[in-house]
A and B are shown apart, each in its own frame.
Chain A
Amino acid sequence: MSLIATAPGNSLIVARARERATVHSNVAGGTPRAAGAVRVDAGAPVLTLQSISLSFGGVTALDGIDLAVAKGEIRAIIGPNGAGKSSLLNVVSGLYRPGRGVVQLGSERFRHVPTARLAAVGVARTFQNLALFKGLSVLDNVMMGLVHCRRAGFVRQILSTPQARREEAKARAAAEEAITFLHLGAVKHQLAGGLPYGILKRVELARALVARPRLLLLDEPLAGVTLGEKRDLAAHVRNARDAYDTTIVLIEHDIGVVMGLSDRIAVLDYGRKIADGSPDEVRSDQAVIDAYLGVAHEGETELVI
């Protein structure tokens, strides 16, 4: 069975005309990505951060972070707990307002990213501690990922006008597609509230993917699940990048997990970026080794490479 079942013709986002001529994947679950499969675009970065600083009271969560994420890249951000990784994603999604610095998404520059417009700008995200709608079914949760494309007002929806029906059908088709893609077909009519954690991680990924975002931010997509699920999820993330033609920034505190998955890795420690490079460069970086083996961070992470 193919891991990927896509029919991107149904995408609701027609406005963002993006060529995706090559919607097939050469990736099998778990194995490292074949060389040459990366379509990293050296041109305009999808996401650029310029000297982002953020503090809470006296605590400096981020300190002068610069980052550029190229189109099509899978960029890991790693670092011990409390390093500021989630804060960084919260800045990019506008949940936190940085004290200093600029966030550039595509061609738009922001001092404070407007969260309400995030989806419209083409950014989707998941959360470290799952942020699903418990009282909605899996299918409805995933359909919610397209809410920003809805135009029909509530009167039209109640009256079920052709426009409202068309939008609903398109959203449903796109959601079904994402659900199939992430192998959630068996649970799609169940309420999210009752499902196991590993499945919910996939549901949240589906909800983020369904909008075909230009940039996908994943906060610890691989954390808190069994080893087998971790491998599956890693494969899903990689397939998602290829099939949905997106750019991914993912957070992980375990350096070993992201080695085979990411194109580039940025390492945060105490709110500072201490390394940024290919997995091999990062692995042999002395500052990284120190940070991970240093006494300051009591064994939340292990350097399994």
Chain B
Amino acid sequence: MTTPIRSAAVRWFTPNRFGLAVLLITAYAVIPFAGSDYLLDAVLTPFLALALAALGLNLLTGYAGQVSLGSAAYLAVGAYAAYNFNLRLPGLPFLASLVAAGFVAAAVGIVFGLPSLRLRGFYLAVSTLAAQFFVQWALTKFGWFSNNNPSGVIDAPPLAVAGLSFSGAVGRYVFSLTVVVVATLLGTRLLRSQVGRNFMALRDHEVAAKVIGVPLLRTKLLAFGVSSFLIGVAGVLWAFAYLRTVEPAGFNLDRSFQILFMIIIGGLASIRGAFLGAAFIVVFPLLLSRFGAALLGNVFDSGVLEMSQRIVIGALIIGLLIAEPCGLIALVDRVADKIRRRVFPPQSRPIHN
């Protein structure tokens, strides 16, 4: 894995401090009232679920340096585990199902993370495909997981927490938002702690990490566990707040790649990068299809339009990664840095030490 190197100076004046507050106020106090059902249902809720998945994968791949192509499997495990907890333990509060589903995904993640003790890089990536194929196969093969639905489809019940219903578009959005905010907060704390440093040490120099006493085995498995926990919770949001009807085929390798693209495009080893990448992957195709339909709708049919969309997105991704290998977040930071220099001329620049 390459290590994104970002100017430490940017850290001081990021949109983080001020921008985060504005963002949260907007997300909680403006969007639920001003946003259309389409925006909430088709854009923001899936964005939140996928951003959480991207955050989970970024912990593992961006921060701890372990490549994984099994993200969709953990999404599926989370979704199906929550469904079964909810179905088979009727008294269990939904939040408990959600957390328990995260733990089930973490356990599966740890098992499929075991090869990381021996394999790295490309070989590890290939071995994580095992999770991808095994989980999809098991969910289709054993009816128990989907309460004996012949094609493995599950229908999520309406969302309700502590008697409060979150079943409308606004409710499902607010619920997802809250889960994502809390998970992001925990993830941030983790990364700022010694465990987070251990992750990055493992990524940057495994031998040195071992020599100074980083417990490699525990750290690697913890990275897999925490990562798949977050992705599992994202899977619960995906199934319960966004789609509400899911099937194993929806959690295929394409989905794993989609999440991997998010962190590469957004920026490896960056929490904000995971969100940016998710926004890009979710929003961009929607914008493109609107523009495409408006501009060329009466020239080409929808099949051709969809194909050309993919080509445009692919070209954009390549262009972006050539221009900025550290992802969108590096681009954003650079622009923010420029603005900062404009606003605060060099002599009043903060000194870092």
What is the interface of chain A, defined by CB distance below 8 A to chain B? 93, 95, 115-120, 124-125, 127, 131-137, 140, 143-145, 147-148, 150, 152, 154, 157-158, 160, 164, 167-168, 171, 185-191, 193-194, 207, 211
Asked whether B203 lies within 8 Å of A135 as measured between CB atoms, the reply is yes
Once the chains bind, are B208 and A131 in contact (CB under 8 Å)? Answer: yes
A135/B190 contact (C-beta < 8 A), A119-B211, A119-B213, A154-B222 known: no
Nearest-neighbor residue (CB-CB) of B201 within chain A: A133
> Could you list some 23 contacts between A and B, CB below 8 A?
A93-B211, A95-B207, A116-B216, A118-B211, A124-B212, A132-B205, A133-B200, A134-B3, A134-B205, A135-B203, A135-B269, A144-B197, A147-B197, A147-B212, A147-B214, A154-B226, A157-B195, A158-B189, A158-B190, A168-B194, A171-B194, A186-B353, A191-B8
Q: Is the CB of B204 within 8 A of A134?
A: yes
Tally chain B residues at the interface, Cβ within 8 Å: 33
- Minimum CB–CB distance for B243 against chain A, Å: 30
Chain A residues near B203 (CB-CB < 8 A): 135
Bound CA span A140–B214, Å: 14
Given contacts A143-B197, A188-B353, A190-B8, 9 further A-B contacts (CB under 8 A): A93-B211, A119-B212, A147-B212, A147-B213, A154-B226, A160-B189, A168-B193, A190-B352, A194-B5
Q: Is the pair A150, B194 in contact by a Cβ cutoff of 8 Å?
A: yes
The interface bits of chain B over 1-32 (1 if a CB of A lies within 8 angstroms of the residue's CB, else 0) are 00111101000000000000000000000000
B39 on the interface (CB 8 Å rule)? no
B198 within 8 A of A: yes
A158 and chain B: residue at smallest CB distance: B189
Interface status of B210 (Cβ within 8 A of chain A): yes
**What are the residues of chain B within 8 A of A116 when measuring CB–CB?**
210, 213, 215-216
CA distance A157 to B199 in the complex (A): 14
C-alpha gap A279/B240 in the complex (Å): 75
Flag whether B186 is at the interface (Cβ < 8 A). Answer: yes
Q: How many A-B residue pairs have CB under 8 A?
A: 110
Q: B186 to A158, Cβ gap below 8 A?
A: yes
Docked pose: A148 CA to B353 CA in angstroms: 27
On whether A157 and B216 interact (CB within 8 A), knowing A134-B204, A135-B4, A194-B5, the answer reads: no
Q: Pick the most buried of B3, B198, B212, B352: most chain A CB atoms within 10 A of its CB.
A: B212
Are A125 and B352 within 8 A (Cβ)? no
Closest chain A CB from B181 CB (angstroms): 15
A132 near B353: Cβ-Cβ < 8 Å: no
A193/B5 in contact, CB under 8 A: yes
- Give the residues from 162 to 214 in chain B that come closer than 8 angstroms, CB to CB, to chain A: 186, 189-190, 193-195, 197-198, 200-201, 203-205, 207-214
In the complex formed, the residue of A with least CB distance to B65 is A135
Do the beta carbons of B211 and A125 come within 8 Å of each other?
Answer: yes
The contact of B3 among A135, A158, A190, by CB within 8 Å, is A135
A154: chain B residues within 8 A (beta carbon): 190, 193, 195, 222, 226
Q: Which A residues are in CB contact (< 8 Å) with B201?
A: 133, 136, 144, 147
Complex CA gap A155/B49 in Å reads 24
What residues of chain B lie closer than 8 Å to A145, measured between beta carbons?
A: 212
Give the CA-CA distance A257 to B142 in the complex, in Å: 71
Does A189 contact B3, Cβ atoms closer than 8 Å?
Answer: no
Contacts of A117 in B (CB 8 A): 213
Chain B residue at smallest Cβ distance from A124: B212
Residue among A93, A135, A189 making CB contact with B353, cutoff 8 Å? A189
Q: Is the CB of B193 within 8 A of A164?
A: yes
**The residue from A157, A194, A207 contacting B212, defined by CB atoms under 8 A apart:** A207
Cα of A140 to Cα of B203 in the assembled complex, Å? 14
B258 to chain A, nearest CB (A): 25
A157–B193 CB distance below 8 A = yes
A134 B211 Cβ-Cβ under 8 A: no
- Say yes or no: A191-B212 contact (C-beta < 8 A), given A135-B203, A154-B193: no
Judging by beta carbons under 8 Å apart, are B204 and A132 in contact? yes
Q: Which residue of A has the minimal Cβ distance to B225? A: A154
Given contacts A157-B190, A160-B189, contact A133 B213 (CB under 8 A): no
**For residue A95, which residues in chain B have a CB less than 8 angstroms away from its CB?**
207, 211
Contacts of A134 in B (CB 8 A): 3, 5, 204-205
Bound together, the chains give a CA A171 to CA B193 distance in angstroms of: 12
Return chain A residues, CB-CB under 8 Å to B226: 154
A158 and B193 contact, CB distance less than 8 A: yes
CB of B337 to closest CB in A, whole Å? 15
In the complex, residue of chain B having the shortest beta-carbon distance to the beta carbon of A125: B211
Q: Are B212 and A148 in contact (CB under 8 A)?
A: yes
A189 touches B352 (CB 8 A): yes
Verify A185–B204 contact, CB threshold 8 A.
Answer: no
CB-based nearest A residue for B63: A135
Of the residues A115, A150, A189, A207, contact of B210 by C-beta under 8 Å: A115
Name A140's contact: one of B197, B207, B216, B269 (CB within 8 Å).
Answer: B197
Residue of B nearest to A168 (CB): B194
8 Å CB contact of A136 from B190, B193, B197, B352? B197
Chain A residue with minimal CB distance to B193?
Answer: A157
Residues of A near B190 (CB, < 8 A) are 154, 157-158
For A156, the closest partner residue in chain B by CB is B193
Residue contact B212 to A144, C-beta cutoff 8 Å: yes
Within the assembled complex, what's the spacing in Å between the Cα atoms of A62 and B6? 43
Distance between Cα atoms of A51 and B317 in the complex (Å): 58
Q: How far is the CA of A293 from the CA of B216 in the complex (A)?
A: 45
Considering only CB atoms, which chain A residue lies closest to B208 in the complex?
Answer: A131
Q: How far is the CA of A44 from the CA of B188 in the complex (A)?
A: 48
A131, A145, A160: residue with the most chain B Cβ atoms closer than 10 Å: A131
Q: Are A132 and B208 in contact (CB under 8 A)?
A: yes
- The chain B residue sitting closest to A121, CB to CB, is B213
Contact of A191 with B211 in the complex, beta carbons under 8 Å: no
When the two chains form their complex, are residues B211 and A147 in contact, meaning their CB atoms are under 8 A apart?
Answer: no
